[in-house]
Amino acid sequence: MSVLSRLANIGRSIFIKFLNTIIPYIYIKLKDLHGISIYFPSDAFGALEENLIARNIYFDSSSIGNADTIIDLGAHAGGFTIYAILYSRPGTRIIAVEPDETNYMLLLANIKLLQDIIGKKKLEILVLNKAVWHKKARLPFKKTGWSEGGHLSEAETFKKGVFVDTITLDELIDLSRGRIIVKMDIEGAETSVLIGSKKLYRVNELAIESHGNHVFLIKTLKLFEYDCKVLIYRINPQLFKSWLNIEPGFYGFLVALYRVLASSMFHPTVLIVKAIKRS
């Protein structure tokens, strides 16, 4: 890791600790997105940017609108799930999987806030407080002090603390119908989950945030007959303008200030592997 990357991580950690100290969770109004209001961890500004404030980095609205089943793995407080609810066609089935109990409760609260839209579109929503894994198990879930950073571990050193039940990708595919798309942000478990699947061939498209060796991830997907491409999203300093439209204003201002400084100095990126099943 370069010196610049280390400084960026240190700066983000300090800012996250500051937000968690003054206000861990916040009720936010997104004036630029149908004026909806949602509950979100204050430290998850990145997840908001990736899914709701800027363009969605996983799937565009047309891909969402063409799907019969949308699976959100690592749903957090519901950023992508909310996006799917807003842009899916009537009757779509949306499955959200989140292992962290606090994020799961916020996700449920956000779905309740969107019940009018869900009802009008007759969407089928299934929310699971589980972690996706390559096998059924009950495993320790390691929290990191950052709402987006929790992950599973089979290591003996993590045998104390919070345990979560796992679900396999194949079980989720069995709950799906028609054209299936999968968004995956599962903190490094991507490749093992894919390798453990025997029904991956039923998934039409995947968008995976890579937390490890994306080259190996692509090789794995190609074995399952997917065409892949890598998309690298640079976090634009101009996002600060969108944050200034967020309510409450003090929170939007704090994140706007952080965004313009961090993105101008360190040029953060997010790497997404997109995979489309060969016809």
Question: pTM for this structure?
Answer: 0.93
Contacts of 39 (CB under 8 A, 6+ apart): 25, 26, 27, 28, 77, 106, 109, 110, 113
Q: Which two tokens stand for residue 81?
A: 């799930």
CB atoms inside a 10 Å sphere around CB 55 = 11
Question: Whole domain around residue 63: which residue ranges?
Answer: 3-277
Reference 184, options 68, 268, 75; nearest CA is 75
CATH of the domain at 39: 3.40.50.150
Angle at 66 between CA 62 and CA 71, to 5 degrees: 100
Q: What is the DSSP letter of 30?
A: E
Q: Is 231 helix (H, G, I), strand (E, B) or coil?
A: strand
pLDDT tens-place string over residues 159-187: 566 899 999 999 999 999 999 999 999 98
Q: Which two tokens stand for residue 142?
A: 């390691």
**pLDDT the model gives residue 1:** 55
What counts of helices (H) and strands (E) characterise the chain? 11, 14
**pLDDT the model gives residue 33:** 85
The domain total for the chain is 1
Report how far residue 146's alpha carbon sits from residue 225's, in angstroms, rounded to the nearest whole number: 36
Q: Are 259 and 48 in contact (CB under 8 A)?
A: no
Report how far residue 177's alpha carbon sits from residue 171's, in angstroms, rounded to the nearest whole number: 12
* Strand 163-167 versus strand 131-132 pairing type: parallel
pLDDT tens-place string over residues 205-254: 999 999 878 999 999 999 999 999 999 998 888 999 999 999 999 999 99
